[in-house]
Amino acid sequence: MSKENFIDAAGDVSLEQMQLPEDLAGLNIAECKLLCEKIRELLINTVTTTGGHLASNLGVVELTLALHRQFHSPDDRIVWDVGHQAYVHKILTGRCDRFATIRQEGGLAGFPKPCESPHDAFVTGHSSTAVSAACGIAEAFRIQGSPNYAVAVVGDGAATGGMFFEGLNNGGKTRSNLIVILNDNECAISKNVGAVAKYLADMRSSKGYVQTKWAVERALGKTPVIGKPIAGVLKNTKDKLRQNIEQTTMFEDMGFVYLGPIDGHDVEELDEALAVAKSYHRPVLVHVRTIKGKGYAPAEANPGEYHGIPRIDVESKNPEISTDECYSTVFGRELVRLAKEDKRICAVTAAMKYGTGLQFFGAAYPQRFFDVGIAEQHAVTFSGGLATQGLIPVFAVYSTFLQRSYDQLLHDISIAGLHMVLGVDRAGIVGEDGETHQGVFDVPMLTAIPHICVYSPATYEELVLCLRKAVQQDKGLSAVRYPRGHAPKYTLGTKANTNFTHIQGEKTLLVTYGRITAEVGKAADALRTDGISCGVLQLTTIWPLDDAVLEIAKEYENVYFFEEGDEVGGIGEKLAGMLLESGYRGNYRHNAVHGFVHHASVERCLEKVGLTASEIVKFVKEQHNG
């Protein structure tokens, strides 16, 4: 489109009037800078209202712009690792008008979603997958004879995940158009996140070496950046020069051309680096340095406080790191108390110190606290190593990210019967982060592990009791799972315990566990008011099931199970099987989550899957009348 359509006489750029991403290529550098300002404004105004990831998106404004200038999405495919930094990408690919709806029910998703736009190349939400996905896309292009590029954008935090290395290892040997952008915002820099972070820090600090290198790349690769044949000649020359003047990097060792570090807030430098990267027609890694939160006044006025927390909690999906009382902080504080009594207790996190409430432990017992970076597989097996020496590792992790550790839990921990405790945070519906983050699959996964004990407390008091039991009394692998956020105010009013709670009723029993016990309890109250007496059975130990649970259920004509987790492989399915085998002849219904739950508030998600008090009342009445 002609520039007149979106740049007025005074030179002001209108984001809304642009045809995106097509119009980006025609902008000059000054216009790009102006556009970046507009984008930052939109980001700040929107995200401070809707919630979501602000700092990481502010950091990639220029990078995203440059990517869409140099690559032609959706023909070229851009895969955003973790995905929470794709807001600018959404704005620049025709979703500017709907940006205010982000993370809200029916609105834009907070993560890339191919069904939302052809520009979203791959579902991302979990870390360190982008190089593997882009490697597959690039190989498909090669097979199909397509000249297109596959680009993976990976934060340095995600570079600690093993999948990133598996991807590099396989990508580095191809001869495909694979470009990896390492978005290095130093978020992984802390004493806890390991050698890769240290390595990147070393690369950044050794200016002479890297700057010289980039200067050579520039001198040989530019003016003008041209097609394959000439670039090939240049490349050979460069390679010879390079051997004499430079050391190799880890990425070059793995088969990638290394370019960098590039100033990720300089569109001109980015343009040039990406053009050079394209000219190679072989795997290239572009190391881009960005500043998280770039351009946001509060961050600039108080960078220490502002950057301090998100910088470490690299994969945190919500800026909910307050020390307000919530399940995570109750867990974290209790663990400190336990660790005071017992020096064997260690705490492990995979880059989620604040999200899981382990900051208290980290401060109190730094020698027994391990932040392994985004490396859930290592976290479990490392914990197993600690356990073999008689220590008691407690790994606190979000339900959805624990999926990475299935094999390690089964093979490295359970076969040997090692004593390890999982704090499974964000278990159940998480809401606005949507299907990539709902914690509804941990129960089928965990219960498949022989000899495990799984607790799902409803209240803070129960959480404390379950954690103490898991750490102090259990022998093998135990998991204590609890939801995101605050405990409901409503409780059954009974004495907290780690086993189960039964409130007697007449013909109908409502069985449940965890946070939605409050919804089931409220439903039972409402039904009682309407003359329908329902018993309530709240499980706190959800696996293995106590024989007494079976006996109680068998006393009722109707047993309805309500489960904030997936139906398939859920506790409701297991109880049904046990009831049938034990000769139960009543009516049984299992109300649970069916597959992936789209983004919306937790309350709305629960309502949609039929797990709020009013939906439960409706269901029971239907059964009663039907």
Residues 175-234 that bind a copy of itself (CB under 8 A): 191, 194-196, 198-199, 202
Among residues 204, 468, 589, 621, the one that binds a copy of itself under rule CB under 8 A: 589
The answer to whether residue 390 forms part of the interface with a copy of itself (CB under 8 A) is: yes
Residues 317, 289 contacting (CB under 8 angstroms): no
> How many Cα atoms within 13 Å fall on the side-chain side of residue 70?
25
Q: Roughly how many angstroms between the first and final C-alpha of the chain, as a whole number?
A: 62
Q: Nearest 5°: CA angle at 53, between 49 and 57?
A: 110
Cβ-based nearer residue to a copy of itself, 438 or 501: 438
How far apart are alpha carbons 191 and 197 in whole angstroms?
Answer: 9
534-539 and 587-593 strand pairing: unpaired
Cβ-based nearer residue to a copy of itself, 7 or 511: 511
Among residues 64, 117, 132, 517, the one that binds a copy of itself under rule CB under 8 A: 132
Least distance from C-beta 45 to a copy of itself, angstroms?
A: 30
The answer to whether residue 254 forms part of the interface with a copy of itself (CB under 8 A) is: yes
Residue 384: phi and psi, rounded to 5, are -60, -40
Stretch that binds a copy of itself, among 351-359, 514-522, 550-558, 585-593 (CB under 8 A): 585-593
Helix (H) or strand (E) holding 248: none
Report how far Cα 502 is from the mean position of its chain's Cα atoms: 36
Residue 401: phi and psi, rounded to 5, are -80, -20
The answer to whether residue 556 forms part of the interface with a copy of itself (CB under 8 A) is: no
Cβ-based nearer residue to a copy of itself, 249 or 359: 249
Interface mask toward a copy of itself for 58-87; x: CB under 8 A? -------------------x-x--------
Stretch that binds a copy of itself, among 95-103, 467-475, 570-578, 617-625 (CB under 8 A): 570-578
139-178 binders of a copy of itself (CB under 8 A): 139-141, 143-144, 150, 160-173
**CB atoms near residue 622 (< 10 Å):** 9
Among residues 114, 227, 232, 298, the one that binds a copy of itself under rule CB under 8 A: 114
Among residues 21, 52, 59, 125, the one that binds a copy of itself under rule CB under 8 A: 125
Among residues 215, 226, 548, 568, the one that binds a copy of itself under rule CB under 8 A: 568
Q: Which residues pair with 179 in a beta bridge?
A: 151, 284
Among residues 1, 547, 557, 596, the one that binds a copy of itself under rule CB under 8 A: 596
Q: Is 475 a known active-site residue?
A: no
Residues 444, 612 contacting (CB under 8 angstroms): no
Least distance from C-beta 135 to a copy of itself, angstroms?
A: 5
Helix (H) or strand (E) holding 549: helix 547-554
The answer to whether residue 441 forms part of the interface with a copy of itself (CB under 8 A) is: yes
**CB atoms near residue 305 (< 10 Å):** 10
The answer to whether residue 122 forms part of the interface with a copy of itself (CB under 8 A) is: yes
Among residues 9, 581, 622, 626, the one that binds a copy of itself under rule CB under 8 A: 581
The answer to whether residue 110 forms part of the interface with a copy of itself (CB under 8 A) is: no
Among residues 38, 588, 600, 620, the one that binds a copy of itself under rule CB under 8 A: 588
Cβ-based nearer residue to a copy of itself, 15 or 445: 445
Q: Is 404 a known active-site residue?
A: yes
DSSP code, position 85: T
Cβ-based nearer residue to a copy of itself, 313 or 412: 412
Q: Is 426 a known active-site residue?
A: no
Per-residue HEC secondary structure of 305-334 comes to: HHHHHHHHCCCCCCCCCCCCCCHHHHHHHH
How far apart are alpha carbons 607 and 624 in whole angstroms?
Answer: 21
How far apart are alpha carbons 151 and 613 in whole angstroms?
Answer: 47
Annotated catalytic residue within 376, 519, 567, 615: 376
Q: What is the CA radius of gyration of the chain?
A: 27
Cβ-based nearer residue to a copy of itself, 343 or 528: 343
> How many Cα atoms within 13 Å fall on the side-chain side of residue 246?
24
Annotated catalytic residue within 95, 238, 292, 574: 292
DSSP code, position 580: H
The answer to whether residue 295 forms part of the interface with a copy of itself (CB under 8 A) is: no
How far apart are alpha carbons 347 and 395 in whole angstroms?
Answer: 6
The answer to whether residue 373 forms part of the interface with a copy of itself (CB under 8 A) is: yes
Residue numbers annotated as active site: 292, 376, 404
